[in-house]
Amino acid sequence: MADEKPNIYSDRFSGKRVLVTGGSRGIGAAIARRLGAEGALVAICYRTRSFEAEQIAQAIVDNGGQAFTIQVDLEKSGSAQQMLEAWDETTRSLVGDNRLDALVNCAGITSAAPLTEIFEHAYDRIMAINTKAPLFVSAEGAKRMYQGGRIVTIGSGAATQPGSLNGAYGMSKAALLAMTRSLAVELGPHGITANVVAPGYTKTDNTAHMLSVPDFAEKVKRVTARDRLGMPEDVAALVCWLASDDSGWVTGQWIEASGGYKMVPPI
Ligand SMILES: NC(=O)c1ccc[n+]([C@@H]2O[C@H](COP(=O)([O-])OP(=O)(O)OC[C@H]3O[C@@H](n4cnc5c(N)ncnc54)[C@H](OP(=O)(O)O)[C@@H]3O)[C@@H](O)[C@H]2O)c1
């Protein structure tokens, strides 16, 4: 983190098994690293960045933990089931059964066109990756949460805050609230919680082009209560708490991790 040290617990996830989509880069990579550092067996799912995903898995293993990678393109029909079948195969060989304790839906893409000008194929793609995939991954994941579980899905402030090019992205993220509240009700009796974490501007590959526009990062900081930009580790801290046993009484919630973005009024 930029100005503070995360409080890494040595064994909060000891004996726990967690799958993270979008684990090769950015926020998902920080989540995977932290889960591994806190004792979880972590499946790091990625689409193209096998090198980065393998590096994260190897670092966890070198540190005495357990981790493996799964390649998946979540835009494709049937990909959620295939990803969880890959989970089944590897966890059965590593630990004897396919129990899943927590799932983090982090993979996502952004839109780059005004809502009224977006091409149909671009809309379908963003909805497939950001909205449809978290639903089917959660449904497949929940089948493996025999001892209860945690589903954490990454939303975005764009769900309620329109920008010039992010209308379709906002739509895809807003739907995650309805999804999460339904999952919370349907799965609550099975000891499974579902929550959304909505990051503010966070320094990743995804935002590099925006944050490199002169003065843009300064403007974001100026309206942020914590007076700095978010780092992936800032978001990972909340996600990991929601993925832990401690969060059992919190479900169906949309929680912002933005350092208080837009709380400071522009003068
Ligand atoms: N950064 C921010 O400021 C911010 C703010 C609000 C919300 N968010 C949300 O936070 C999440 C992570 O964002 P980020 O900034 O960390 O993004 P990022 O650095 O661009 O990483 C995106 C991740 O998603 C994976 N991914 C993309 N398309 C995929 C597909 N079709 N199938 C499977 N995996 C796919 C990528 O895999 P590969 O790299 O292997 O291709 C990568 O691991 C996203 O849901 C995003 O909407 C981010």
- Would 264 be classed as within a structural domain? no
Residue 3 is predicted with a pLDDT of 66
Please give the average pLDDT of every successive group of 10 residues along the chain, which has 267 residues: 71 97 98 98 98 98 97 98 98 98 98 94 98 98 98 97 93 98 98 98 93 92 95 98 98 98 85
Identify the pLDDT of residue 204.
96
Please indicate, yes or no, if residue 54 is contained in any of the structural domains.
yes
For residue 198, report the phi and psi dihedrals to the nearest 5 degrees.
Answer: -110, 105
The CATH code of the domain that includes 231 is: 3.40.50.720
pLDDT at 1: 54
pLDDT score recorded for residue 267: 67
* The total number of structural domains that make up the chain: 1
What is the distance between the terminal CA atoms of the chain, rounded to a whole angstrom?
28
Angle between helices 26-37 and 232-243 (to 10 degrees): 50
Local structure of residue 229 (DSSP, 8 states): -
Pocket lining for ligand 1, CB < 6 angstroms: 21-22, 24-28, 46-49, 72-75, 106-109, 129, 154, 156, 199, 201-202, 204-207
Look at residue 138 and tell me if it is in a domain: yes
Asked if 159 contacts 200 with a C-beta cutoff of 8 angstroms, the reply is no
Pocket test for ligand 1, best of 71, 204, 210 (most atoms within 8 A of CB): 204
Residue at 1 is within a domain: no
Q: Is residue 263 part of a domain?
A: no
Residue at 8 is within a domain: no
Cα of 106 from ligand 1 centre, angstroms: 6
Ligand 1 mean position, distance from CA 231 (Å): 14
251 found inside a domain: yes
Q: Is residue 3 part of a domain?
A: no
Phi, psi of 244 (to 5 degrees): -95, 170
- Domain range holding 182? 17-256
